[in-house]
Amino acid sequence: MISSNLISFSNIKLAQQYLYNIIVSRTDEKGQQWLDKKIEQLLKDPREMDFYISFNLVPRFIGKQTLDLTDEEIAAGQNLRSGLDLSHWTIDQVGRNLILLYMPFDEKSFCQNTLKNLFETAGVDELVALYAGLPLLPIGEALHQRAAEGIRTNMTAVFDAMALNNPYPKDYFNEVAWNQMVLKAFFMERPVYRIQGMEERYNEKLAAMIADYAHERWAAGRITMPELWCGIGPYVTDGLLADLRRLLDDTDELQQQAAALACYNSGSERAKTLLLNHHDLREGIENRMINWKQIGSQWENRRYQKKPLYE
């Protein structure tokens, strides 16, 4: 389950360089000078209080703007650590994580204590930086309980930092934590297509939880997100066939497409048979016009435009 290419003690310098380069190409001279001075100070004499204060001060000196990463920068992140994706980060997140990468990682208790205090005193944006940055830490694996806390939060931004565009959950969450994360993402109506590893980490228990959840929503007269069926394919049971059949005839094309994808990817012959009457959908899937990313982003767009979710 653990992917190759994790940040380790040997490539931590590359990680530092990666973050540093992203910042200096986007900040002014004053920001860079501050950063250089801090790094020098932390290297020479790493004291806990300096990590706290520097971490706090990052946005004052290097700002908070979005990154708009180049294709090269995105690729470099992937090379550094599989799944690393800073495309939704802001520059202060990069800065805060760069500071953290100068912790003396061979001193275990120092790092544990510093991180504990940072998490326990953090503001919203600081929590976002901390959770999004977990895959960058060479001791990240030891922090899986902390990571699960990031899923228990009700602060949307913090949940997103842990769950979306982040390789950490798929690499380190056990099945219980994984399933809670996915289910909670649906509860919070988050863009699930941005969760890494949805299909590979799918499991039978999750499929049962998702089916129960859907029935609960429908009983209350609520709609379900079309992405609810992402990854369920191999776990489609005969009990779900009636639901999928109904969704294939739904008035909302995104619901139809999602049900069709679930049937198409299903191991169940009966589910595949349902698609016989839906030629267009089948064709859309085969020529890749219909896929989870497209369904998810269209749904997200609808939310943003405040159109009725259910059309």
Q: How many residues bind another protein (CB under 8 A)?
A: 36
* Residue in 7, 31, 59, 185 binding another protein, rule: CB under 8 A: 59
Question: How far is 251 from 67, CA to CA, in rounded Å?
Answer: 39
* Residue in 19, 115, 126, 254 binding another protein, rule: CB under 8 A: 126
* Residue in 53, 75, 176, 289 binding another protein, rule: CB under 8 A: 53
Please tell me what DSSP assigns to residue 90: B
Nearer to another protein, 164 or 240 (CB): 164
Is 125 a binding residue for another protein by CB under 8 A? The answer is yes
Is 110 a binding residue for another protein by CB under 8 A? The answer is no
Residues 143-172 that bind another protein (CB under 8 A): 154-158, 160-161
Is 81 a binding residue for another protein by CB under 8 A? The answer is no
Question: How far is 131 from 1, CA to CA, in rounded Å?
Answer: 20
Is 128 a binding residue for another protein by CB under 8 A? The answer is yes
Q: How far apart are the first and last CA of the chain?
A: 39
Beta bridge partners of 276: none
Is 52 a binding residue for another protein by CB under 8 A? The answer is yes
Quickly list H helices, the chain: 12-24, 29-44, 48-62, 71-80, 91-100, 108-121, 124-132, 144-152, 156-163, 168-172, 175-187, 204-219, 241-248, 253-264, 269-274, 279-286, 292-304
Phi, psi (deg, nearest 5) at residue 66: -70, 165
Is 66 a binding residue for another protein by CB under 8 A? The answer is yes
Least distance (Å) between residue 1 CB and another protein: 28
Least distance (Å) between residue 52 CB and another protein: 6
| Residue 267 · residue 233 · CB < 8 Å | yes
Least distance (Å) between residue 3 CB and another protein: 24
Nearer to another protein, 47 or 205 (CB): 47
Least distance (Å) between residue 300 CB and another protein: 8
Q: For residue 248, with 0-12 CB atoms within 10 Å meaning exposed, 13-18 middle and 19 or more buried, which class applies?
A: buried
Residues 208-247 that bind another protein (CB under 8 A): 221-222
| Binding range to another protein, per CB under 8 A, among 168-176, 189-197, 207-215, 252-260 | 189-197
Place of tokens 């930086």: 129
| Residue 292 · residue 233 · CB < 8 Å | no
Q: Using CA of residue 136, residue 142, residue 146, residue 147, what is the dihedral sign?
A: positive
Is 70 a binding residue for another protein by CB under 8 A? The answer is no
Is 37 a binding residue for another protein by CB under 8 A? The answer is no
Least distance (Å) between residue 265 CB and another protein: 27
Is 56 a binding residue for another protein by CB under 8 A? The answer is yes
Question: How far is 107 from 110, CA to CA, in rounded Å?
Answer: 6
Interface residue list for another protein (CB under 8 A): 49, 52-53, 56-57, 59-60, 65-66, 68, 88, 90, 117, 120-128, 154-158, 160-161, 189-191, 221-222, 300, 304
